[in-house]
Chain A
């Protein structure tokens, strides 16, 4: 193989993307678990460890840029490396969502107002599962899978609506918990946004395999802005 260096580097970067992905998955699960147990020490750890996710993302980005400069990747190699740049950005933002949830746990502290934790845990499991499969599809360049995964967020949207209705009812019944309910809405919003960003990863998978930049219909455009900046 005349391009051993490039091939080796690309494989290494794919591993790094998977590693970054698993860091994000773990951060999200830990953040939700900390909320569930109202464990502020655990939430603090998630909050601080977001820095490691950011560092990993910049390390990958730097490595991709070096490959652009030294190996002049083209065609499939180019699409793959360009897609990695996009995907690591998505992953880092997902890490920010986990950090945001940790921050909310710290704010709630020992406030014992009930939390719809069953729905939140389920949403987190679904979103993390989607991310995990999306990254597998990304590495395998599995276009069919990339098309299927975004459809899975219907259940997340449904759970989001359930929490929303519950919260509204609770706030009407007891206006004193408005601040608390608002924080809970941010938690489910962050999880819902994570699932949307999984769709973006799937779009990049399709791009690597076909060269086409398409928007998958299931993506949720109405939330697609930057209001959720941490």
Chain B
């Protein structure tokens, strides 16, 4: 992948070291968690004063939020509020967009992923992504899942076979495809294709999985399968999901971030809260209006 676009990077003036940043994000989260009477939660990722520009247009305006480890965090908000931009900023997918420029930080395990010494391929391995439309490669089920591990240098057939089976099992697809590993991934149903894409994403053992409306193109049963799968995956992974389906966010996520467009049409974070709190008694009036369908 050719990443030529340089990005400006500014540390928040109040934060001088990553260590301090880590401590601070933990503190704010713990405070919130305490308020919501949840147990102590470590932070896996954090956006700190994150702004994203497409040319002159500012798509995101100084987003600061923590992503708790082994939890599902949902990003919700009206169309154009920047939630997909934010999701893509978490694994530098925006680097691929011409004219895109990022300010602020995305911290993964205490390290800013936009630091100049960071290898973007390494980031994409640690932060995987699943898209709205299932997009299996035009190759066999086996090769789809083995694609990433091969890319990272694994050649031994036995090990690849183990990874493929393990990944397909984790993606709750093994029982359905174990006898057709050599068939084309494109021959599977939509819901199976999406689970294949999830298996492909987890085959490289990421720490975080980003999901951009992963069930939007699926029927209700396949949707519920994906949701059940996410629930089981969070045991091993941290998941961030963009969804337009409010009930889906309410069903599956532990935390919810609500984004909206501010006066200058940039996406801002209005509220970040435990999902249980957000959907029964949100702190912000704008959140209330949006989730109850009174605007947006």
Among A2, A78, A210, point to the contact of B293 (Cβ < 8 A). Answer: A2
Tell me if B250 is interfacial: C-beta within 8 Å of chain A. Answer: yes
Whole-angstrom distance from the CB of A1 to the nearest CB of chain B? 7
CA distance A77 to B279 in the complex (A): 10
Tell me if B4 is interfacial: C-beta within 8 Å of chain A. Answer: no
Inter-chain contact A74/B294, CB cutoff 8 Å: no
Contact with A along B204-225 (1 / 0, CB 8 A): 0000000000000000000000
Residues in B with CB closer than 8 Å to A99 are none
Q: Assign chain B's interface to a size class.
A: 10 to 19
Inter-chain contact B294/A211, CB cutoff 8 Å: no
Whole-angstrom distance from the CB of A80 to the nearest CB of chain B? 11
Inter-chain contact B294/A3, CB cutoff 8 Å: yes
Interface majority SS (helix, strand, loop, mixed), chain B = helix
Tell me if A173 is interfacial: C-beta within 8 Å of chain B. Answer: no
Within 8 A of A (CB), among B272-296: 279-282, 287-288, 291-295
| Total A-B pairs, Cβ < 8 A | 35
Inter-chain contact A77/B281, CB cutoff 8 Å: no
CA distance A2 to B294 in the complex (A): 6
Inter-chain contact A77/B292, CB cutoff 8 Å: yes
Tell me if A70 is interfacial: C-beta within 8 Å of chain B. Answer: no
Among A3, A210, A211, point to the contact of B292 (Cβ < 8 A). Answer: A3
Within 8 A of B (CB), among A1-22: 1-3, 6
Residues in B with CB closer than 8 Å to A75 are 279-282, 287-288, 291-292
User: What residue in chain A is nearest B296 (Cβ atoms)?
Assistant: A2
Contact with B along A150-161 (1 / 0, CB 8 A): 000000000000
Q: Assign chain A's interface to a size class.
A: 10 to 19
Tell me if A79 is interfacial: C-beta within 8 Å of chain B. Answer: yes
Pick from A6, A75, A77 the residue with the most CB of B within 10 Å: A75
CA distance A78 to B250 in the complex (A): 13
CA distance A6 to B294 in the complex (A): 11
CA distance A73 to B295 in the complex (A): 15
Residues in B with CB closer than 8 Å to A74 are 246, 250, 279-280, 291-292
Whole-angstrom distance from the CB of A79 to the nearest CB of chain B? 7
CA distance A175 to B5 in the complex (A): 100
Whole-angstrom distance from the CB of A82 to the nearest CB of chain B? 9
Tell me if A76 is interfacial: C-beta within 8 Å of chain B. Answer: yes
Tell me if A72 is interfacial: C-beta within 8 Å of chain B. Answer: yes
Contact with B along A196-226 (1 / 0, CB 8 A): 0000000000000011000000000000000
Contact with B along A51-91 (1 / 0, CB 8 A): 00000000000000000000011111111000000000000
Tell me if B247 is interfacial: C-beta within 8 Å of chain A. Answer: yes
Whole-angstrom distance from the CB of B258 to the nearest CB of chain A? 12
Inter-chain contact B280/A3, CB cutoff 8 Å: no
Among A2, A3, A72, A211, point to the contact of B247 (Cβ < 8 A). Answer: A72
Residues in A with CB closer than 8 Å to B280 are 74-75, 78-79, 211
Contact with B along A123-162 (1 / 0, CB 8 A): 0000000000000000000000000000000000000000
CA distance A136 to B295 in the complex (A): 28
Pick from B250, B279, B287, B294 the residue with the most CB of A within 10 Å: B294
User: What residue in chain A is nearest B246 (Cβ atoms)?
Assistant: A74
Residues in B with CB closer than 8 Å to A1 are 294
User: What residue in chain B is nearest A211 (Cβ atoms)?
Assistant: B281
Within 8 A of A (CB), among B228-261: 246-247, 250
Given the interface pairs A2-B293, A73-B292, A74-B291, the reply to whether A79 lies near B281 with Cβ below 8 Å is yes
Whole-angstrom distance from the CB of A178 to the nearest CB of chain B? 52
Whole-angstrom distance from the CB of B142 to the nearest CB of chain A? 41
CA distance A1 to B296 in the complex (A): 10
User: What residue in chain A is nearest B282 (Cβ atoms)?
Assistant: A75
CA distance A211 to B281 in the complex (A): 6
CA distance A78 to B282 in the complex (A): 12
Residues in A with CB closer than 8 Å to B279 are 74-75, 78
CA distance A72 to B293 in the complex (A): 11
Cross-chain pairs A/B with CB under 8 angstroms, 18 sampled: A2-B293, A2-B294, A2-B295, A3-B294, A6-B293, A72-B247, A74-B246, A74-B250, A74-B279, A74-B280, A74-B292, A75-B281, A75-B287, A75-B291, A76-B281, A77-B292, A79-B280, A211-B281
**Which 6 residue pairs are nearest across A and B when measured between Cβ atoms?**
A211-B281, A3-B293, A74-B279, A2-B293, A75-B288, A75-B292
Given contacts A3-B292, A76-B292, A78-B280, 11 further A-B contacts (CB under 8 A): A2-B294, A2-B295, A72-B247, A73-B292, A74-B292, A75-B287, A75-B291, A76-B288, A210-B281, A211-B280, A211-B281
A residues lining the B interface (CB < 8 Å):
1-3, 6, 72-79, 210-211
